[in-house]
């Protein structure tokens, strides 16, 4: 685990939420210079830190709302640190917990060189990484429909399918195995959803591959050259590790 250990004149800890954020700024001696709640807008944030802009570092916990603040800090040339949520909880966990206390504790950890860092994924590749994660969820949802077909087949004690029903050509006649019209419709719904997922997943994969060739063409080609690593696995590896190794 990496800790942020650089020295600054001011240390800003933020407990960040979707609509509000609690900001705490400490000086080098640990004195509180600012400690208040405000709206999560770039204007409010920049006004709050304006007197300390000469030498300040800003830290937030790695939650779903950090993207805009990280991008703003890069744009404004402000040092930004993304705290590792799990390790931060282990370090400063306590019974007393609210936004005000959390903001102060983040600033204290930052000042003391004890803030565990998480990787702040670069903005230019972040959207594609999130799309890659969305693809994974779609694949799992498709797998759930395939599993439901197999479970229904076993539930009615039908002979084993013995087919690779993940392939569309092998799914013909599966619904007709069942005499009950409602069960047939249930299976038809599964197969219609699988067909739809197939189309969406293929489209997403093509889009991601196009972007990957723009982001990291050399790294992508290197990954594809490794035996056993195909198109999808190369994308997973690229967007989960390649950028963080820089």
How confident is the prediction for the chain on average, in pLDDT?
Answer: 92
Report the distance separating Cα 16 and Cα 204, nearest Å.
31
Q: Is the pLDDT of residue 16 over 80?
A: yes
CATH 3.30.420.10 domain residues, the chain: 3-118
What phi and psi values does residue 192 have, to the nearest 5 degrees? Answer: -65, -40
pLDDT at 82 (0 to 100): 96
Residue 223 has pLDDT above 70, yes or no: yes
The confidence band for 244, taking pLDDT boundaries of 50, 70 and 90, is very low
pLDDT at 164: 77
In three-state secondary structure terms, 118 is strand
Domain 3-118 bears CATH identifier 3.30.420.10: yes
Give the pLDDT of residue 166. Answer: 82
Q: Please answer whether residues 223 and 237 qualify as being in contact, where contact means their C-beta atoms are separated by less than 8 angstroms.
A: yes
> Is pLDDT above 90 for 160?
no
Please tell me which residue, 172 or 106, carries the higher pLDDT value.
106
**Tally of residues, the chain:** 246
Residue 91 has a pLDDT of 66
- Residue 226 DSSP class: S
- pLDDT tens string 75-132: 999 999 999 988 887 666 666 679 999 999 999 999 999 999 999 998 999 999 999 9
pTM (2 decimals)?
A: 0.82
pLDDT of residue 135: 97
Question: By the 8 A CB rule, do 197 and 141 touch?
Answer: yes
Q: Return the pLDDT at 94.
A: 62
pLDDT computed for residue 220 by the predictor: 93
Question: Model confidence over 38-59: pLDDT tens digits?
Answer: 999 999 999 999 999 999 999 9
Q: Please, are residues 35 and 100 in contact by the beta-carbon 8 Å criterion?
A: yes
CA distance 107 to 27: 10
Residue 245, pLDDT > 70, answer no
Mean pLDDT of 173-185: 93
Query: Band of the pLDDT at 173, cuts 50, 70, 90?
Result: confident
What is the reported pLDDT for 96?
Answer: 66
Give the mean model confidence (pLDDT) for residues 132-152. Answer: 95
Q: Flag whether pLDDT at 246 surpasses 70.
A: no
- Percent of the chain at pLDDT > 90 equals 83
């Amino acid at each position: 685990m990496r800790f942020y250990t650089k020295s600054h004149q001011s240390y800003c800890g933020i407990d960040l939420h979707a609509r509000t954020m609690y900001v705490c700024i400490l000086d080098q001696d640990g004195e509180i210079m600012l400690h208040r709640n405000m709206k999560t807008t770039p204007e409010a944030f920049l006004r709050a830190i304006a007197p300390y802009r000469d030498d300040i570092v800003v830290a937030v916990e790695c939650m779903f709302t950090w993207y805009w603040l990280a991008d703003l800090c890069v744009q404004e040339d402000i040092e930004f640190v993304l705290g590792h949520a799990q390790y931060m909880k282990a370090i400063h966990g306590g019974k007393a917990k609210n936004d005000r206390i959390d903001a102060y504790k983040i600033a204290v950890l930052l000042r003391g060189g004890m803030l565990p860092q998480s990787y702040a994924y670069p903005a230019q590749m972040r959207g594609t990484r999130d799309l890659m994660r969305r693809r994974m969820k779609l694949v799992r949802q498709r797998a759930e429909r395939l599993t439901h077909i197999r479970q229904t087949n076993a539930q009615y004690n039908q002979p084993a399918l013995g087919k690779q029903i993940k392939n569309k050509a092998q799914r013909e006649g599966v619904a007709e195995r069942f005499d009950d019209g409602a069960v047939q419709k249930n299976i038809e719904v599964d197969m219609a959803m699988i067909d739809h997922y197939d189309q969406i997943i293929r489209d997403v994969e093509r889009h991601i591959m196009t972007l990957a060739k723009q982001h990291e063409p050399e790294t992508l080609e290197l990954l594809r050259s490794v035996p056993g690593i195909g198109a999808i696995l190369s994308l997973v590896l690229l967007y989960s590790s390649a950028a963080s190794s820089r």
